[in-house]
Amino acid sequence: MSLALQETMKKFLYHNSLSLVFFSLFVISILGQFFTGFAEHNKEMREEQQPALSLGDYLHSGHFIQATFENWESEFLQMALFVVLTISLRQKGSSESKKCEGPEEVDREPSAKRKNAPWAVRKGGIIVQVYKHSLTIALLILFVLSFVLHFHGSLLNENEELISKGLPRESVTQYLGDSRFWFESFQNWQSEFLSVFAIVILSVFLRQKGSPQSKPVDAPDSETGE
């Protein structure tokens, strides 16, 4: 491998290390969830004297789909709300909040004259208007997709259990009012909202040297913003 290629790869890894590490952790975790969920589900099937599933069958099972997307759903909801609510709401002293007074850099209108401005900003018109809100739009779309897939997996899992007990299946409209589906959603939503509340409040008083999610170590508690 040439020295130039090595330097290019080192630069790429350094510039993208945060996303690469988190994506790697995601892959490890989803594989861990899949195989442990597969073992746990088949354990339950054997206890109920039902035939065990193959790996391929488990991938399409309600058990795996429901467990996966109920978590994704809550994460994307939390991030979408956090992005939207931090536009206008404040928490004095928090590194996660905009300052309580005065304009912020993120509030300025986009300019096509800015050096290296994104293509959408240079294009202008309706494209830049959509681009101004594209992060929220993307997160909300991901939330809706995850919500629908969570519902699909949860309904599938519920009907698999009902069939194994010789009971009639539930329809989509029946399951929309089922406490099980909403329990699965609320138990995840509350944990996400609590985690946001925790970082917003704890960043007022606590510090982590070197982290952009923290204020400087010597910053006063009343200082708001990063």
Rounded alpha-carbon distances, angstroms, from residue 195 to 27, 66, 82, 113: 22, 22, 11, 39
Q: What are the pLDDT digits (tens) for 129-172?
A: 999 999 999 999 999 999 999 999 999 999 998 988 889 999 99
Q: Is 220 domain-assigned?
A: no
Q: What percent of the chain stands above pLDDT 90? A: 67
On whether both 75 and 159 belong to a single domain, the answer is: yes
Tally helices (H) and strands (E) across the chain.
9, 0
Proportion of the chain in helix, strand, coil states, percent, rounded to 5: 70, 0, 30
pTM, rounded to two decimals: 0.91
Q: Is 217 domain-assigned?
A: no
Range of the domain at 32: 1-58
Which residues does 77 contact at the CB level (< 8 Å), separation at least 6? 143, 189, 192
On whether both 67 and 163 belong to a single domain, the answer is: yes
Which residues does 50 contact at the CB level (< 8 Å), separation at least 6? 164
On whether both 79 and 27 belong to a single domain, the answer is: no
On whether both 168 and 79 belong to a single domain, the answer is: yes
On whether both 46 and 134 belong to a single domain, the answer is: no
Is the pLDDT confidence value at 1 over 70?
no
CA distance 123 to 129: 10
Q: What are the pLDDT digits (tens) for 98-136?
A: 888 888 888 888 888 888 889 999 888 999 999 999 999
On whether both 195 and 184 belong to a single domain, the answer is: yes
On whether both 169 and 128 belong to a single domain, the answer is: yes
On whether both 197 and 173 belong to a single domain, the answer is: yes
On whether both 18 and 77 belong to a single domain, the answer is: no
Domains of the chain: total? 2
pLDDT at 101: 85
